[in-house]
Every structure is written in C-alpha cells, then in structure tokens.
Amino acid sequence: SQTIHQWPATLVQPVGSPLSLECTVEGTSNPNLYWYRQAAGRGLQLLFYSVGIGQISSEVPQNLSASRPQDRQFILSSKKLLLSDSGFYLCAWGQGNYQPQHFGDGTRLSIL
C-alpha cells in the first residue's frame, strides 16, 4: 500500500532563517506531488505541484520554492522565512486526473 511521510512534524524557526521540509511517498511510482499550506483556521492553499522529476509549477508568488530531485521526493524550501510563512504545511500525492489526493501528516511551522 502507498504511504506518504513528512518531516519534521513541528518546527519553530526565527524570522530570516532558511527552511527545508521533506516529503516522500512509498508504494507508487510517478505520482503527482503537491504542497499545500493551511493558515490557522483557514482552508488549504495550493503552493506547488509536480507531475515529474524536476517539473515544478508554482501557484502563488512567494519566498518559497519547491524541488523534486527524485520521483517520490518533494522538498519545500525557503532562503529567508517571513512571519507570514507560519502555518500547517501539507504534502499530498495523487495519480492524476479524477483521482484522490492523499495527504501526509503535515508540518506545523511557527515563525518567531
């Protein structure tokens, strides 16, 4: 069966520090991968998606970036975090159109 792993589960970072969140999927090949962000008490906002290695599409202009160095690995990064980057970051995978997206357990990021 397929599983998705995200780490870390919780992260507290100072403003201006770098960020790296990692997500890996097991049990499937060539998945579509997604990064969503959920601000406190809000809905989910799509940040990036990828349909293959090295292919990244950005949905929202921001100081975040994403990379997909391997088929089942998706990384979310920032060079300098802002206070507004706080939130619950969720990685998800899917197998294409009209297929469900399955979410990892998320990373709760607090910026001080």
Partner 1 sequence: QQPVQSPQAVILREGEDAVINCSSSKALYSVHWYRQKHGEAPVFLMILLKGGEQKGHDKISASFNEKKQQSSLYLTASQLSYSGTYFCGTPNSGGGADGLTFGKGTHLIIQP
Binding site for partner 1 (CB under 8 A): 32, 34, 42-46, 49, 51, 57, 59, 90, 94, 96-106
**Min. distance of Cβ 44 from partner 1 in angstroms?**
4
End-to-end Cα separation, the chain, in angstroms: 38
Least separation in angstroms between residue 61's CB and partner 1 is: 16
Residue 94: phi, psi to the nearest 5?
-150, 170
For partner 1, give the closer residue by CB, 14 or 54: 54
CB of 16 to partner 1, least distance (A): 28
CB 73, CB 23: distance < 8 Å: yes
Six-digit token string for 37: 């962000």
Q: Which is nearer to partner 1, 19 or 47 (CB)?
A: 47
Token duo for residue 74? 């998706």
Task: Determine the 3-state secondary structure of 53 from DSSP.
Answer: coil
Q: Which C-beta is closer to partner 1: that of 57 or that of 70?
A: 57
